[in-house]
């Protein structure tokens, strides 16, 4: 009888002491064994290392803060498991998450990686912004279930070590596009599976300022990566939402009634309605999950996020056109990938 495979769980961490505590507690409660947990601390200045030490896991440290890709690579090089599982330090896995990922990889040799989803409930309570961000990401990953291409979440990923030897490592020079880079190499040889049977609670953004700042930055810096690969559509779909165009046009046409008369108010209103209807399935899901008052707030926050994506796309395109350094930097990163 074949024994269960050793799974090496690699947790990159930077100044996330409190979420890390929940992450490691969840790993200690996994139903799968044996398990090797490796925390790679990326130059934290809080008590993250002490938290990791208190759980008795293996702790490695980067000399200076170098980014999650570097931390993941250090963990992968030190891992002894047949399966590598990359789990961000702000994710607390469900007790059966590792076991379910292992079962898929064992049953289907053609699957080279299993990506997990976020639970509908965040790791810790944090208000409507956190609830919105968490629930939206759950929905986005949920409708992507099955074979995926183009982009993948890097927060929960299980890969057989033999596969990682072929397609790794994470590109340390890519700060926001490393998932798109790795999934390209994976899907050239294997299927990449997204599934909600591998679930984790996520410690998502707690304030609107943080959420919008992240959305803007991630969208902007994705522009050169995808333009270099001739996949402009991927800029939008891999950022936060693929249904933002109508909301951008609604915002652009909103001043029309002031300059062309009140009758033109119908145009931005119709565009906004088209934007809402394009995500009707999502809003029905939110309504069933959280009720009408939260759904109204959710829609308002989602509109702000979509408009921020539009600003990020515009800023990225302008920077691409006017900044040779911006183009050259990401061209070099893409070639290195």
What one-character-per-residue DSSP string does 201-243 give? Answer: EE----SHHHHHHHHHHHHHHHHHHHHHTT-THHHHHTTT-S-
Q: What are phi and psi of 125, to 5 degrees?
A: -60, 145
Position 118 pLDDT exceeds 90: yes
Name which of 187, 240, 236, 220 is nearest 320 in CA terms.
Answer: 220
Q: How high is the pLDDT of residue 217?
A: 86
Task: Cite the DSSP H helix spans in the chain.
Answer: 17-28, 48-54, 68-78, 97-107, 128-143, 161-167, 178-187, 208-228, 233-237, 245-253, 256-260, 266-278, 280-290, 292-322, 324-336
Place 322 in a pLDDT band, splitting at 50, 70 and 90: confident
Q: pLDDT tens digits, residue range 5-24?
A: 999 999 999 999 999 999 99
Q: Mean pLDDT over all residues of the chain?
A: 87
Domains of the chain: 7-204 (3.90.550.10), 209-243+279-336 (no CATH)
Residue 318 neighbours by CB under 8 Å, 6+ apart: none
Distance separating alpha carbons of residues 203 and 23, to the nearest angstrom:
10
Position 229 pLDDT exceeds 80: no
Name which of 90, 98, 103, 128 is nearest 116 in CA terms.
Answer: 98
Position 144 pLDDT exceeds 70: yes
Contact 75, 38 (CB under 8 A): yes
Position 241 pLDDT exceeds 80: no
Span 76-102, average pLDDT? 97
Q: How high is the pLDDT of residue 238?
A: 40
Span 278-290, average pLDDT? 93
Q: How high is the pLDDT of residue 328?
A: 67
Stated pTM of the model: 0.86
Query: What's the token pair of residue 202?
Result: 């996520």
Span 233-261, average pLDDT? 67
Span 124-145, average pLDDT? 91
Span 306-325, average pLDDT? 86
Q: What are phi and psi of 87, to 5 degrees?
A: -130, 120
Q: Is the peptide bond before 300 cis (omega within 30 degrees of 0)?
A: no
Place 234 in a pLDDT band, splitting at 50, 70 and 90: very low
Q: What are phi and psi of 123, to 5 degrees?
A: -60, -45
What one-character-per-residue DSSP string does 61-106 give? Answer: E-SS---HHHHHHHHHHH---SEEEEE-TTEEE-TTHHHHHHHHHH
Residue 219 neighbours by CB under 8 Å, 6+ apart: 235, 239, 240, 308, 309, 312, 313, 316
Contact 202, 140 (CB under 8 A): no
Query: What's the token pair of residue 266?
Result: 């119908």
Place 2 in a pLDDT band, splitting at 50, 70 and 90: low
pLDDT-above-90 percentage for the chain:
58
Place 256 in a pLDDT band, splitting at 50, 70 and 90: confident
Place 257 in a pLDDT band, splitting at 50, 70 and 90: confident
Distance separating alpha carbons of residues 201 and 122, to the nearest angstrom:
5
Position 235 pLDDT exceeds 60: no
Q: How high is the pLDDT of residue 231?
A: 47
Place of tokens 């030190």: 78
Place 262 in a pLDDT band, splitting at 50, 70 and 90: confident
Distance separating alpha carbons of residues 307 and 248, to the nearest angstrom:
6
pLDDT-above-70 percentage for the chain:
89
Q: How high is the pLDDT of residue 160?
A: 97
Q: pLDDT tens digits, residue range 327-336?
A: 665 555 555 4
**Range with lowest mean pLDDT among 201-205, 244-248, 262-266, 268-272:** 244-248
Span 144-161, average pLDDT? 89
């Amino acid at each position: 009888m074949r024994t269960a495979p050793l799974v090496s769980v690699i947790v990159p961490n930077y100044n996330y002491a409190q979420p890390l505590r929940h992450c490691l507690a969840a790993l200690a409660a996994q139903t799968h064994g044996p398990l090797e947990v490796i925390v790679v601390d990326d130059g934290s200045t809080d008590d993250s290392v002490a938290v990791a030490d208190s759980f008795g896991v293996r702790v490695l440290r980067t000399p200076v803060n170098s980014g999650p890709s570097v931390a993941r690579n250090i963990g992968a090089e030190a891992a002894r498991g047949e399966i590598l599982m990359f789990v961000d330090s702000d994710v607390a896995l469900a007790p059966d998450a590792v076991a379910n990922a292992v079962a898929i990889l064992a049953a289907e040799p053609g699957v080279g990686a299993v990506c997990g989803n976020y639970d509908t409930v965040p790791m810790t309570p944090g208000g409507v912004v956190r609830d919105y961000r968490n629930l939206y990401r759950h929905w986005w990953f949920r409708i992507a279930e099955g074979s995926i291409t183009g982009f993948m979440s890097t927060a929960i990923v299980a890969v057989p070590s033999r596969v990682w030897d072929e397609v790794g490592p994470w590109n340390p020079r890519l700060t926001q596009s490393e998932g798109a880079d790795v999934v390209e190499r994976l899907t050239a040889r294997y299927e990449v599976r997204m599934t909600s049977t591998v679930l984790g609670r996520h410690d998502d953004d707690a304030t609107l300022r943080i959420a919008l700042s992240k959305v803007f930055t991630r969208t902007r810096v994705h522009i050169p990566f995808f333009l270099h690969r001739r996949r402009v559509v991927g800029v939008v779909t891999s950022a936060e939402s693929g249904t933002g165009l109508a909301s951008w046009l609604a915002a652009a046409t909103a001043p029309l009634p002031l300059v062309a008369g009140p009758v033109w108010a119908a145009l931005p209103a119709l565009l906004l309605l088209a934007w809402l209807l394009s995500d009707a399935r999502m809003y029905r899901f939110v309504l069933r999950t959280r009720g009408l008052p939260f759904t109204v707030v959710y829609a308002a926050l989602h509109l702000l996020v979509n408009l921020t994506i539009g600003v990020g796309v515009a800023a990225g395109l302008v920077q691409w056109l006017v900044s040779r350094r911006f183009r050259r930097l990401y061209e070099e990163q893409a070639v290195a990938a």
